[in-house]
Amino acid sequence: MRTYLTPLRKIRLMCGIVGYVSKASVDNADHSALDVVLSGLKRLEYRGYDSAGVALVTAGGELETAKKAGKLSALTDELAEHPLPAAQTGIGHTRWATHGGPTDANAHPHLADGGKLAVIHNGIIENFAHLKADLVAEGVEFLSQTDTEVAAAQLAKNFQTTGDLTEAMRVTATQLEGAFTLLAVHADAPGTVVAARRNSPLVIGLGEGENFLGSDVAAFIDYTRTAVEIGQDEVVTITPDAVVITDIEGNEVQGTQYEVNWDTAAAEKGGFASFMDKEIHDQPQAVADTLLGRMDTDGKLALDEMHIDETVLKTIDKIVVIACGTAAYAGQVARYAIEHWCRVPVEVELAHEFRYRDPVVNEKTLVVAISQSGETMDTIMAVRHARQQGAKVIAICNTYGSTIPRESDAALYTHAGPEIAVASTKAFLSQVVACYLLGLYLAQLRGNKFRDEIAAILTELQAIPAKVQRVLDEDKEQVLALARRNQDVDSVLFLGRHVGFPVAMEGALKLKELAYIHAEGFAAGELKHGPIALIDDGQLVIIVVPSKRGRDSLHAKVISNIQEVRARGANTVVIAEEGDEEVREFASEVIYVPETTTLMAPLLTTVPLQIFAMELATAKGLDVDQPRNLAKSVTVE
Whether the Cβ atoms of residue 14 and residue 50 lie closer than 8 Å to each other:
no
Nearer CB in complex with ligand AGP: 246/379: 379
Closest contact distance (angstroms) between CB of 46 and ligand AGP is 17
One DSSP character per residue, 528-541 reads: GGTGGGG--TT-EE
Nearer CB in complex with ligand AGP: 331/496: 331
Nearer CB in complex with ligand AGP: 145/373: 373
Nearer CB in complex with ligand AGP: 135/542: 542
Give, in order, the Cα–Cα distances in Å from 345 to each of 320, 367, 388, 417, 553: 8, 12, 21, 31, 24
Nearer CB in complex with ligand AGP: 267/404: 404
Whether the Cβ atoms of residue 429 and residue 461 lie closer than 8 Å to each other:
no
Closest contact distance (angstroms) between CB of 326 and ligand AGP is 3
Interaction between residue 513 and ligand AGP (CB under 6 A) = yes
Interaction between residue 634 and ligand AGP (CB under 6 A) = yes
Closest contact distance (angstroms) between CB of 374 and ligand AGP is 7
Residue 124, Cα to own-chain centre: how many angstroms? 13
Provide the annotated active-site residues: 15, 632
Closest contact distance (angstroms) between CB of 375 and ligand AGP is 7
Cβ neighbours for 168, distance < 8 A, ≥ 6 positions apart: 155, 156, 158, 159, 161, 162, 194
Write each residue from 570 to 589 as x if it is in contact with ligand AGP (CB under 6 A), else as -, in one continuous string.
--------------------
| Interatomic CA distance for residues 366 and 381, integer angstroms | 16
Amino acid identity of 133?
A
Task: Report the residue from 146, 200, 215, 372 that binds ligand AGP according to the rule CB under 6 A.
Answer: 372
Nearer CB in complex with ligand AGP: 105/350: 350
Write each residue from 542 to 561 as x if it is in contact with ligand AGP (CB under 6 A), else as -, in one continuous string.
--------------------
One DSSP character per residue, 238-290 reads: EETTEEEEEETTS-EE--EEEE--S-HHHHHTTT-SSHHHHHHHTHHHHHHHH
Give, in order, the Cα–Cα distances in Å from 455 to each of 41, 160, 435, 459, 461: 40, 42, 16, 6, 10
- By CB under 6 A, the residues from 421 to 460 that bind ligand AGP are 422-424
* Residue 52 dihedral angles phi and psi, to the nearest 5°: -145, 155
One DSSP character per residue, 215-246 reads: SSGGGTTTT--EEEE--TTEEEEEETTEEEEE
- By CB under 6 A, the residues from 614 to 633 that bind ligand AGP are 633
Closest contact distance (angstroms) between CB of 248 and ligand AGP is 39
Rounded to the nearest 10°, the torsion over CA 58, 62, 67, 72 is -10
Judged by CB under 6 A, the number of residues near ligand AGP is: 15
Task: Report the residue from 371, 414, 430, 444 that binds ligand AGP according to the rule CB under 6 A.
Answer: 371
Task: Report the residue from 89, 192, 326, 365 that binds ligand AGP according to the rule CB under 6 A.
Answer: 326
Window of 72-80, 324-332, 353-361, 606-614 that interacts with ligand AGP by CB under 6 A:
324-332
Q: Which residues of 3-32 are buried (b: 16+ CB within 10 A; e: fewer)?
A: eebbeebbbbbbbbbbbbbbeeeeeebeeb
Task: Report the residue from 156, 321, 327, 468 that binds ligand AGP according to the rule CB under 6 A.
Answer: 327
Nearer CB in complex with ligand AGP: 306/422: 422
Closest contact distance (angstroms) between CB of 465 and ligand AGP is 21
Interaction between residue 324 and ligand AGP (CB under 6 A) = yes
Least Cα distance to 589 among 518, 541, 536 occurs for 541
Closest contact distance (angstroms) between CB of 534 and ligand AGP is 23
Task: Report the residue from 181, 283, 373, 571 that binds ligand AGP according to the rule CB under 6 A.
Answer: 373
Nearer CB in complex with ligand AGP: 513/580: 513
∠ CA 367-369-370, rounded to 5°: 145
Helices H / strands E in the chain, number of each:
18, 25
SS3 582: helix
Amino acid identity of 169?
M
Whether the Cβ atoms of residue 495 and residue 593 lie closer than 8 Å to each other:
no
Window of 12-20, 320-328, 359-367, 386-394 that interacts with ligand AGP by CB under 6 A:
320-328
Closest contact distance (angstroms) between CB of 24 and ligand AGP is 46
Task: Report the residue from 39, 283, 290, 376 that binds ligand AGP according to the rule CB under 6 A.
Answer: 376
The residues binding ligand AGP (CB under 6 A) are: 324-327, 371-373, 376, 379, 422-424, 513, 633-634
